[in-house]
Chain A
Amino acid sequence: MNFAVTNLSYRYKVPLSISLVIVITAAVLSAVLGWQAYRDLRGGLIVGAESLGRTLSRALLPSLLSDEVWSAYETVMAPLEGVDDGGSPQRTITVLDAKGLVFVSSNPAEFPVLAPLSSAGPSYAQLQGAITTQASRSTALFEDRINDRLMFTVPILTDDGTHLGTVLLTYSESLFLPNFYAILTRVIVSTLLVLLVLVPLGWNIGRRMAVPLTGLAEAMARIGSAPRAQLTEKLYRGDDEIGQLGRQFEQMLNEIEQKQNMEKQMIAADRLAAIGRLTAGIAHEINNPLGGMINAINTFKHHRHPDPEVTQRTISLLDRGLAQIRDTVGALLVEARTESHALSPDDVDDIRTLVQAQVAERKVRLDWDNGVSELVPLPSTPVRQILINLLLNAVQAANPSGAVGCRIRRDNAQLLIDICNDGETIAPQVLEHLFEPFSLPGESRSGLGLWVTYQIVQQLRGTIEVSSASAETRFVVTLPFPENV
């Protein structure tokens, strides 16, 4: 039950609650009206019986004084004229004499003349006791709950107050039940008619109240999968709590957008910074062959008459030097381009070329293992950025004349990048915060490299794990291929 209620949409919960309140209100009102009708009818019965009892007590006085049984009988029968007295009469009028014996009754079968009242049943025996003890000076009402009867007693007193007898009216409570049921039916029918109008109205109001909330919930559910303008265009505008939530939601969307923009800028800046870091090495890479080529040309100039062998050697040297420069510049050009294509084996090899200068400068050994032999369904730019960042960090962190390992593999669903170095072990407490900005205070770099890498991996829905133990620090990046490829 609780489970069902908590899981129910407000689209139904609010209209249901309002309808429920309406139904409960109507039901309570009906019950109160019914109860009131019951009380009124019963009260009316009591008032009528009391008044009849008083009238009878006056009218019966002469009959009791002159011991006229038959005239007393005719008097008590007069109010019951036309009432079916077969079976069990619903109204019985009995006259008791001063000794409490039946003088006459409208129901002689139950109350024979001269019989003691107590012989009519236990409740009457009780009543007889009550009549005699209270000296019958006043009208009294007795309720016989067992038999659903109301019993009224009115004393018959002469003008000088002598007690001649008692009028006993026995009314079955079922006397007013037909009227009560008629009223109850009317109340129920009216209530149903009112409900017929109010419940749809309440349902409609409830729906209208729930719409802003459900709209907001839908908009929130679509964050990331729908353009931002679509998310907010249908939002409810108002000053109530839901309106405030809507505005907060919009503000939150703005902030997320700003953050995303900032991250994008950071990643772009990082990429340019990486290129900057590469540039010095690359310049060296270009400069080396250039020096060799200039030397070769100078040597070639000193030969006034160069023999074909020297010429051939010089051209070959120029050829190789230019090819090396072309490769280096080529790799750099690709890195400087912002548009992305599917990652190719050449892209991966380009990275090796780009970091070569740093590797050479640090005099570390790079164990390069490129297992990619065909196109990988991942954008080349972010993957190259991850490789460059992690490789430059590894080269930087490796011991002088140490080793850096880079192993790249692909399978059907993902690309695996595994980069390790033999540098100093990173303390566990540092490791915990490694991907937060500026986490390595001693680092010469901006301190954003690993954070940017982490963000890129996140954007590609991949994972990055780091471990550092026994002189080996290892970063493992797993990049799943997009599902629609």
Chain B
Amino acid sequence: MEHGHPTPEPSASSQNRRRALQQAAGLLLAGLALPVRGQSRIRAIRIGTTAVILNDQVRFLDEWARYLQGHIGHPVSFVHRSRYREITELLLSDELDFAWVCGYPYVSHRQAMRLLAVPLYQTRPLYRSYLIVSSSDLKTASFADLKGKTFAYSDPNSNSGFLVPQYEMLRAGLDPLTLFQKSFFTYAHGKVVAAVAKGIAHGGAVDGYVWETLALRTPDLTRRTRVAAKSDEYGFPPLVARKSIDESEFRGMQKVLTGMPDNPAGRSLLKQLNLDGFAQPEERLFEGIGKILAYVSTRQRLVS
């Protein structure tokens, strides 16, 4: 797990690039016309990810980066951070071009982000939050049954892993701060499943899409948990761009993403993600999150 702050590396490397450009200019002036080749001189497209999808995804992201690079004709690199907030901050400070964020940070920072694409899960851009408990716990049907227990959230900036359960509890007249004897964050949906499966927490809030995907990939783990309750549907965590993104760059990326189901390599990547494709998003997809955020905010001060 990475705990580091947003890395100063981009500015350092841009300095290097500047120095390299100056050198190149000097060489040109000297009459030595060298063709400008090599990708190191071009600013790579930087895409931020969190454990919004599955963790342990380095190999997959390398593969995806190569795919995107091949279709855009521009270097692409993924920047992974374990905390949602880090990616949000990087995007807000224009350190990232694109990011796969959760609906909750998007709704919170709508003015600073531009919706790029929304994944299609089981053909729809929607997902749910699951309340899971240990498979040995056959009683629990709602949050109220977990009073005095330990509880695992995924990330404080996660919709399905934090905001939705907060909303559900408040709506049921429960106080999320006092309901559990102890609650903690695992900063990944998969780790919420592990925490419940191994008995560290009695219950947990997890992204329904992640749980279902894990059930396909590592059924041994999910089999030790039981879905006690499913929330309403919400907008699937979208891909967004920084507000200041170049229009052609934005369109290019959107085209590549939505075109992924059209070729075998893209389909293969989508299959690994357990997704059907990417669609052009609509703003109202996230109205539901906006509503519950407003509800929760009025009920209690959120520590974000």
Contact = CB atoms under 8 A, between A and B. Distances in A.
Interface of A: 62, 67-71, 73-74, 104, 108-109, 112-114
A317 to B, nearest CB: 150
Contacts of A68: 184-185
A120 to B, nearest CB: 14
Contacts of B181: 114
A73 B197 CA distance: 13
Interface stretch (B167-175, B198-206, B230-238, B284-292): B198-206
Contact of B150 (A62, A67, A74, A113): A113
Contact of B185 (A62, A70, A109): A70
Contact of A69 (B1, B199, B200): B200
A99 to B, nearest CB: 13
A67 B200 CA distance: 14
Contact of A112 (B3, B191, B199): B199
B1 A74 contact: yes
Nearest to A63: B184
B40 to A, nearest CB: 36
A73 B200 contact: yes
A70 B195 contact: yes
B152 A108 contact: no
Contact of A71 (B1, B182, B198, B201): B1
The 8 closest A-B pairs by CB, nearest first: A108-B199, A69-B184, A70-B186, A113-B150, A108-B200, A73-B200, A114-B182, A109-B199
Contacts of A69: 150, 152, 182, 184, 195, 200-201
A150 to B, nearest CB: 24
Contacts of A73: 195, 198, 200
B162 interface: no
27 contacts: A62-B3, A67-B184, A68-B184, A68-B185, A69-B184, A69-B195, A69-B200, A69-B201, A70-B152, A70-B184, A70-B186, A70-B187, A70-B200, A73-B195, A73-B198, A73-B200, A74-B1, A74-B191, A104-B200, A108-B198, A108-B200, A109-B199, A113-B150, A113-B182, A113-B201, A114-B181, A114-B182
B203 to A, nearest CB: 12
Contacts, number: 39
Interface of B: 1, 3, 150, 152, 181-182, 184-187, 191, 195, 198-201
Contacts of A109: 199
A73 B150 CA distance: 14
Given A109-B199, A114-B182, 5 more contacts: A67-B184, A69-B184, A104-B200, A113-B182, A114-B181
Nearest to A109: B199
A109 B195 CA distance: 12
Contacts of A71: 1
Contacts of A62: 3
Nearest to A85: B198
Contacts of B185: 68, 70
Contacts of B198: 73, 108
A67 B199 CA distance: 18
B146 to A, nearest CB: 13
A114 B184 CA distance: 13
Contacts of A104: 200
Contacts of B201: 69, 113
User: Which of B1, B181, B184 has the most C-beta atoms of chain A within 10 angstroms of its own C-beta?
Assistant: B184
User: Which of A67, A104, A113, A114 has the most C-beta atoms of chain B within 10 angstroms of its own C-beta?
Assistant: A113
Nearest to A105: B200
A62 B4 CA distance: 13
Contacts of B186: 70
A68 B83 CA distance: 13
A187 to B, nearest CB: 41
Contacts of A70: 152, 184-187, 191, 195, 200
Contacts of A67: 184
Nearest to B153: A70
A481 B1 CA distance: 116
Contacts of A74: 1, 191
B215 to A, nearest CB: 21
A158 B300 CA distance: 33
A100 to B, nearest CB: 15
A69 B150 CA distance: 10
Nearest to A73: B200
Contacts of B150: 69, 112-114
Contacts of B182: 69, 113-114
Nearest to A75: B1
A79 to B, nearest CB: 16
Contacts of A113: 150, 182, 200-201
A69 B194 CA distance: 13
A74 B184 CA distance: 13
Nearest to B183: A69
Contacts of B187: 70
A327 B199 CA distance: 136
Contacts of B195: 69-70, 73
User: Which of B152, B182, B200, B201 has the most C-beta atoms of chain A within 10 angstroms of its own C-beta?
Assistant: B200
A74 to B, nearest CB: 7
A71 B198 CA distance: 14
A69 B183 CA distance: 8
A62 B3 CA distance: 11
Contacts of A108: 198-200
Contacts of B1: 71, 74
A138 to B, nearest CB: 29
A250 to B, nearest CB: 92
Contacts of B199: 108-109, 112
Nearest to B1: A71
A482 B191 CA distance: 112
Nearest to B181: A114
A95 B185 CA distance: 17
A291 B136 CA distance: 151
B207 to A, nearest CB: 16
A108 B150 CA distance: 12
Contacts of B3: 62
A70 B3 CA distance: 14
Nearest to B188: A70
Nearest to A108: B199
A67 B195 CA distance: 15
Nearest to A106: B198
Contacts of B200: 69-70, 73, 104, 108, 113
Nearest to A77: B198
A61 to B, nearest CB: 13
A109 to B, nearest CB: 6
A68 B156 CA distance: 13
A326 to B, nearest CB: 136
Nearest to B191: A70
